[in-house]
Structures are given as structure tokens and as C-alpha cells.
Structure 1
Amino acid sequence: MKRAIKLSDVAKAAGVSQGTASNAFNRPEIVRPEVRERIEAAARELGYAGPDPKGRLLRAGKVNAIGVVTTSPLGYFFEDPYARAIMTSISEACDVHGAGISLVSAANEEKLAWNIQSAIVDGFILFCIEGGARLVELTRERRLPFIALQLEGLDETISAIGIDEFSSARTAGRHIMALGHRDVAILALELTEGHIGPVSETEVDAALYSTTRNRIRGYQAAMVEFGVDAATAPIFETDHTSASVEAALAELFGSDRPPTALLCMSDRVGLIALDWLRARKISVPGDVSVIGFDGVPDGEISNPPLTTVAQPIAAMGRQAADMILGGMNEPHREQLPVDLIVRASTAAPG
């Protein structure tokens, strides 16, 4: 096996000290042109590509880059409209700082732990949609600054930016109830790993993911305020895929009493629902109202445009990036307000 060429080999071949050879690559302006040319010629002849940038960055103590971490597959950053919107705001903040982004993900926990440990970054932004506690545990081991994009379920020592999941979902529920809907269904995100389909109250109570549980409880609180028995609203757990959402819709609209409104726990779920309903000529909002959650740009141009509870996505991503790149000395926790954006996908029941 051929030995790797080192800087010391280049220095010896060029007849200079290792320090001079290093300066030729890292501080060329202080090396005489004829000496620099001799060093570069020796490097080309030996096949030396130059100093390892990782070592230089680590010695400097700052690499000017952020790691953005999720337990989901890497495609999540590109396929999910919420993730795309957050990444847009993070990248805009990085542009201002002249910083880079490293996407950290893996198909299994072992790879995720390795990727977090080996990422060359100044700190991490954690997408704590699922598996937030494990992300925090793995990231803490790096001893670098990090901030979670979720407040609930995380202790006060963890920097986090997020929303009040319960009250935000209650806002969505109140809108639907105020329109006069009483037959509603909840299309939820995952409550636990590896399960989709109808869920019971007991399963909601035992949910692994607090975000999903708290949003369900917020929807139900709005129903109770309007005198509706929350137990009458079916809850379907999805894994955010078209297949799981469509399976839930097929069951709901194959029943003798289909819902007149769908409380969708993300805009992605709501957009999938709009496509499924339109393909079956079920009118929105004539036959059924649909409300989402997140406020992603895709909802503005859907058919019809999607009513939603909008998170302050741009502010969340920008603030998280600014905090990592600016340096964090103390835990920072901030709860941001949401906005109800009423569009054409919700109306009074027909």
C-alpha cells in the first residue's frame, strides 16, 4: 500500500524547511515567488494535493459552519415543505455571516451518532420533530453549542426556539368549530415509532412524541369549548407519507358518516389530503374543510389555497443560525407566536 505524501516530503524535495513549505500553501504572499514555484513543482511531482483543510480549521478553533440535524433520512431536508422553508431561512442567515451548512442525518442511530461526532461545524440546529431527546443526548456529547427547534419535552437547560403546540392547535380547532363543524377528524403525525392508523385515547396519553400529543389535546380542547364531545373525533396517526395519509382518508370517507372537516397536523398532510379529495371530486370546502399546520409557501398556491396555523418559520431558522454563529454562553429559550391564516380551504359546512 503506497504511503501518503506528507508536507515534510515536499519540503525535503524542494530543499526548504517544513515551515516554509507550509507558508507556501497557507500564506503564499510571504514566500518569495521563486521559492514558492519550487515548492509547488515538488508537490506536483510527488502528487501532494495540499494541507488537509480539516486540520487547519480545527486548529483555528472555528470553522464558520452550522450542522443541521434530523433523525429522518437526508431526503427530508428536500422533500418536506416545512424542512425546506426552515432551511431557506437558515441558509439566508448563513449567507449574511458568510458561513456554510452541513446536513447531518442517517438511516440508523449508529450512523447518526457517528455523523454528529464527525461533523466539522461550530454548532448544531436540531430538527426535534421526532426523536428529539436522543438528538439532544448525542449532540451534548460533542460539547458544541446547539439549539433545538422545539420547546416542549426538553428541559430548561437546553436552548430552544419553538411554539406553544397546545394553544396553536387549539387556534386551528377553534376556527373549524366557529365555522359550525361538528363532525371532524384529526390527521396526526407520529405518536410513536413504527405505527400508523387509528389511535385510542390511551395511545395518545402514552405518546412518545410530545408535539403530536399536545397538538391533539389542543384540537380536543377547542371541541370541548364548543360543546363537542372530543371522543367523537377519530384520530389517525400518519408517518407524513402520502400512503399513510391516503389510507386514513380512504377509511374516513368510506364510512357512513364522513367528516365535514379535517384537522391536519402539518401542511404536508393537508396538501396530500387536498390532492386526494380533488381526485375523487370531493369538494373543498363545499363537502369538507381542510386546515393545515406550519404555514409553508406551498399552501399559498395549492388548489384551493390551504388555511393553516402558520409558525414563524423564517424567524425560527434565522434566530437559530444567528445564535450558533454568534456564540451562545447561556441557554436561550424562546416561544414565538403563530398566526391563523384563513384561505379558501375552510368554510361553513354545506
Structure 2
Amino acid sequence: MKRVIKLSDVAKAAGVSQGTASNAFNRPEIVRAEVREKVEAAARELGYAGPDPKGRLLRAGKVNAIGVATTSPLGYFFDDPYARSLMAAISEACDEHGAGISLVSAASDEKLAWNIQSAIVDGFILFCVEGGERLVELTRERGLPFIALQLVGVDETISAIGIDEFESARAAGRHVLGLGHRHVAILALELDEGHVGLLSEAQIEAGVYTGTVERIGGYRAALAEFGIDPASVPVYETDHTTASIHDALQSLFGAAHPPTALLCMSDRVALIALDWLRLRGIAVPGDVSVIGFDGVPEGETSEPPLTTVAQPIAAMGRQAAEMILKGIVKPHRERLEVELIERSSTAPPR
């Protein structure tokens, strides 16, 4: 194996001290031109690429960068409209501070732990979409400031910004039921790892991911208010992929009595559902109403425009970034308000 060339090798070859060689790279203005040229020539001859910037940044105590972490694969930051909107807000705040962003993600727990431990950042923003507790645990071990973008299921002693998941879902349910719908179905996000499909009562009761648990609870609370037995309403768990959402829709609309309204647990699920329904000639909202959850920009231009429970995504991202960049002195928890935005994808049933 080729030996790694160190700064000490360059100093020896140039006939200067290691401190002088270091200054030639890091503080060239204090080194005489002829000495600096000798060091640079020795470095070129030996194939030395220069000092490790990671070490210099760590010694400085601040790297001016934020880590944004999720347990989902890296593609989540680019494929999911909610994640894209959050990243846009975080990026805007970082631009104003001249700070960088490091995306931290991995498909396996072992790799995620390594990525969090090795990230060169001043702190972390945690996308607690699923597996939030594990993400918090790994980040806490790192010892850097962090803030979670979810309130439920997160230790109350740590900083978090989020919404009332239960009440937000209940608002969506009330809207659809208030229009007169009584045959509804819930398209849920992951409730437990490694499962998709129709959920039994036992599976709902044993749900692991708290955000999904809270939203199912909110939908069901609205159903009970309107005299509908929550257990009679199908809850389909998806893993947020197009395939799993299509499978759920195929099952629902292949039944003898398809729903007249879909309660979708994210705008991504709702937007995929709109495309699937349109391709099969199922009119929205004529045959079925669809309501989403998040308030992503794509919902404004979908066909038809999507009714949704809008989270204050921009405010969440910006506040989280500001907290990490300015430093978190003590735990800060903030619950932000949502807004029900009524568009053309919901209407009274025929």
C-alpha cells in the first residue's frame, strides 16, 4: 500500500520545522515567499494534497454547518415534497448566515450511527418522520445541539418544533365528514417497520411510529363524533412508495362499495392517489373526495387542486435552522398552528 504523506514529511523535505510548513498552508501571509515556495515544491514532489480541512475546522470549535438527519434513505430529501419544502426553508436560513448543510441518512442503523458520528457539523435538525426515537438517541450520543421536527414521541427534555398531530388529523376528518361523507378510508404512513397493507385493530393498537399513531387517532376521533364506528373504516398502511399506495387504492376501489372520500396522511400520498384515480376515470371530487396533509406547493397546482391540512413548513424549517446556528442554550419546544386549506379535491358526495 502507498504510504500516506504527512505534513511532517513535507517539512523534512523542505528543511523547515513542521510549524513553518503548517503556516505555509494555513497562514501563508506570515511566511516569507521563498520559504513558502520551498514548502509548496516539496509538497508537489511528494504528492501531499494539503492539511486535512476537517481537523482545522474541529480545532476551531465551529464549522458553520448544519446536519439534517433522517432514518429514511437519502432519496427522501429529494423525492418527498414535504422534505423538499423543509429543505428549501432550511437552505434559505443557511444562506443568510453563510452556513452549509450536510445531509445525514442511511438505510441501515449501523451506517446511520456512523454517519451521525462522523458528520462535520455544529448541530442537527432531525426529520422524525419515522423511527424518531432512534434518531434522537444516536444524535444525543454525539453530544452536539439538535432539534427534532416532531413533538410527539420525543423526550420532553429536548428541543422540538412541530404540530398537534392528533388535532390536525381530526380537523381533516371533520372537514370530510362535515361535507356528508360516511364511506371513507384512511391511507396511512408507516405504523411499524416492514409492513404495508390493511391494518387490523391489533396492529393499530400496537403501532410503533407515534406520528402515524396520533394521526390515525385524530381521524378516528372525528369519525366517532359523527357517529361512525372507527373500526368499520379501513386503514391502509403504506410505506410512502407509489407501489404501496397503488396497491391500497386497487384494493379499495376494487371492492363492491368503494369509499366516497380518502383521508390521506400526507400530500404525497394524496397526489399519487389523484393521478391513479384520474387514469382510471374516477372523478375527483365527483366520485371520491381526497384530502391531504402537509400543505406542499405541489398541492396548489395538482388536478384538481388539493384540499389539505397545511403545516407551517417554512416556519418550522427556518426556526430550526436559526436555533442550531445561533446555539441552543436550553431546551425549546414549540407547537405551531396548522391551517385547513379547502380546494377543489373535496365536495359533498353524490
Separation (CA, whole Å) in 2 of partners of 1:229 and 1:153: 27
The offset of 1:267, in angstroms, is 0.4
The offset of 1:229, in angstroms, is 2.5
Please name the residue that 2:255 is paired with.
255
Please name the residue that 1:48 is paired with.
48
The offset of 1:19, in angstroms, is 1.6
The offset of 1:200, in angstroms, is 2.1
The offset of 1:335, in angstroms, is 0.5
Size of the alignment, in residue pairs? 350
Please name the residue that 1:327 is paired with.
327
Q: How does 1:75-90 map to 2 (within 5 A)?
A: 75-90=75-90
Q: Deviations over 1:117-149 (max 9, x none)?
A: 111111111111111111111111111111111
Separation (CA, whole Å) in 2 of partners of 1:228 and 1:122: 50
Stretches (4+) displaced over 4 A: none
TM-score by length of 2: 0.98
The offset of 1:81, in angstroms, is 0.8
Please name the residue that 2:18 is paired with.
18
Please name the residue that 1:66 is paired with.
66
- Could you say what secondary structure the match of 1:141 adopts? helix
- Could you say what secondary structure the match of 2:16 adopts? coil
Separation (CA, whole Å) in 1 of partners of 2:154 and 2:56: 35
Q: Deviations over 1:254-312 (max 9, x none)?
A: 11111110000000100110010000000000100000000111111111111100111
Please name the residue that 2:309 is paired with.
309
- Could you say what secondary structure the match of 1:38 adopts? helix
The offset of 1:183, in angstroms, is 0.8
Q: Deviations over 1:13-58 (max 9, x none)?
A: 2222222211111111222222222221221111111100011011
Please name the residue that 1:276 is paired with.
276
For the aligned residue pairs, the C-alpha RMSD in angstroms reads 1.1
The offset of 1:223, in angstroms, is 1.8
Please name the residue that 1:101 is paired with.
101
- Work out whether 1:188 is the aligned partner of 2:188: yes
Separation (CA, whole Å) in 1 of partners of 2:4 and 2:232: 69
Please name the residue that 1:155 is paired with.
155
The offset of 1:3, in angstroms, is 2.1
Separation (CA, whole Å) in 1 of partners of 2:278 and 2:306: 13
- Could you say what secondary structure the match of 1:185 adopts? strand
TM-score by length of 1: 0.98
The offset of 1:201, in angstroms, is 2.3
Please name the residue that 2:287 is paired with.
287
Separation (CA, whole Å) in 2 of partners of 1:116 and 1:312: 27
Separation (CA, whole Å) in 2 of partners of 1:229 and 1:245: 24
